[in-house]
């Protein structure tokens, strides 16, 4: 069974799904969504996914949307990254509400929105919200090697979704030593790949833009 993940490299939400599928050992192929040219806003795409978002996973003739749902499906199919289940899901939901929702919006605002449409007030508000989420993660990771305890789960694969991207958005690993060490552990998992290696990117994107 080959899975098809509709995604694009700049999307941290798509990265969560792609990374989970990869680390779970599932056979999948990317289908590029040309998000920056409006592909997800076309009537055809809205028929495919009424939410008009990526990622979308095609599984044997049906579609699955929302990164957390795709992560949970992959973990349940393979029996990986889901123990303890309740804590794993707790961190997936924490990411969706507190981390990626802020990090994704802030990164988009600073790097993909035209400069004349950017708002310092929006940047300040999102930055403060994101910093609060990082404080929660830092505190937990000072106590346990992974967010849900002794082993990595889909909660870790969710919360890291935007944290490997090179575009600055107020996150400096040096400011968060426990998060920094956790990201290093994640990147050491067999099969881990950077988002710009795992998924196709928009035309004209720099192939050399990677973290140092």
Question: Tell me, what CATH number does 182's domain have?
Answer: 1.20.1050.10
Query: Do 33 and 109 belong together in one domain?
Result: no
Residue 13 lies in a domain: yes
pLDDT band at 149 (very low <50, low <70, confident <90, very high): very high
Q: How many domains does the chain have?
A: 2
**pLDDT reading at 112 higher than 90:** no
Tell whether 35 is covered by a domain.
yes
Residues 74, 104 within the same domain: no
Q: What is the 3-state secondary structure (H, E, C) of the chain?
A: CCEEEEECCCCHHHHHHHHHHHHCCCCEEEEECCHHHCHHHCHHHHHHCCCCCCCEEEECCEEEECHHHHHHHHHHHHCCCCCCHHHHHHHHHHHHHHHHHHHHHHHHHHHCCCHHHCCHHHHHHHHHHHHHHHHHHHHHHHHCCECCECCCCHHHHHHCCCCCCCCCCCCCHHHCHHHHHHHHHHHCCCCCCCHHHHCCCCCCCCCCCCCC
Note the pLDDT tens digit of each residue in 48-85: 888 878 999 999 889 999 999 999 999 999 999 999 99
Asked whether residue 125 is domain-assigned, the answer is yes
Any domain includes 20? yes
Same domain flag for 151 and 180:
yes
Are both 177 and 112 inside the same structural domain? yes
Given a cut of 50, is residue 211 above it in pLDDT? no
* Span 119-148, pLDDT tens digits: 999 999 999 999 999 999 999 999 999 999
Residue 110 and residue 72 in one domain: no
Question: Does residue 76 sit in the same domain as residue 89?
Answer: no
Confidence at residue 204, expressed as pLDDT on a 0 to 100 scale: 57
Residues 58 and 101 in one domain: no
The mean per-residue pLDDT over the stretch 171-192 comes to 97
Full domain range(s) for residue 9:
3-80+193-198
CATH code for position 61? 3.40.30.10
């Amino acid at each position: 069974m080959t899975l098809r993940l509709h995604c694009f490299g700049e999307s941290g939400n798509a990265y969560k799904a792609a990374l989970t599928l990869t680390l779970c050992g599932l056979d999948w192929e990317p289908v590029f969504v040309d998000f920056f040219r409006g592909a997800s806003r076309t009537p055809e795409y809205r028929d495919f996914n009424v939410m008009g978002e990526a990622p979308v996973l095609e599984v044997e003739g049906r579609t699955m949307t929302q990164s957390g749902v795709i992560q949970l499906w992959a973990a349940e199919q393979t029996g990986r990254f889901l123990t303890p289940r309740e804590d794993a899901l707790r961190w997936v939901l924490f990411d969706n509400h507190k981390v990626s929702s802020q990090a994704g919006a802030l990164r988009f605002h600073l790097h993909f929105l035209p400069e004349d449409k950017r708002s310092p007030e929006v940047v300040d508000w999102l930055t403060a919200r994101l910093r609060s989420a990082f404080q929660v993660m830092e505190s937990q990771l000072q106590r346990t090697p992974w967010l849900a305890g002794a082993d990595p789960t889909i909660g870790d694969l969710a919360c890291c979704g935007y944290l490997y991207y090179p575009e600055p958005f107020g996150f400096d690993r040096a400011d968060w030593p426990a998060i920094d060490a956790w990201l290093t552990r994640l990147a050491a998992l067999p099969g881990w790949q950077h988002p710009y290696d795992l998924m196709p990117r928009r035309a004209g994107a720099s192939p050399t833009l990677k973290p140092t």
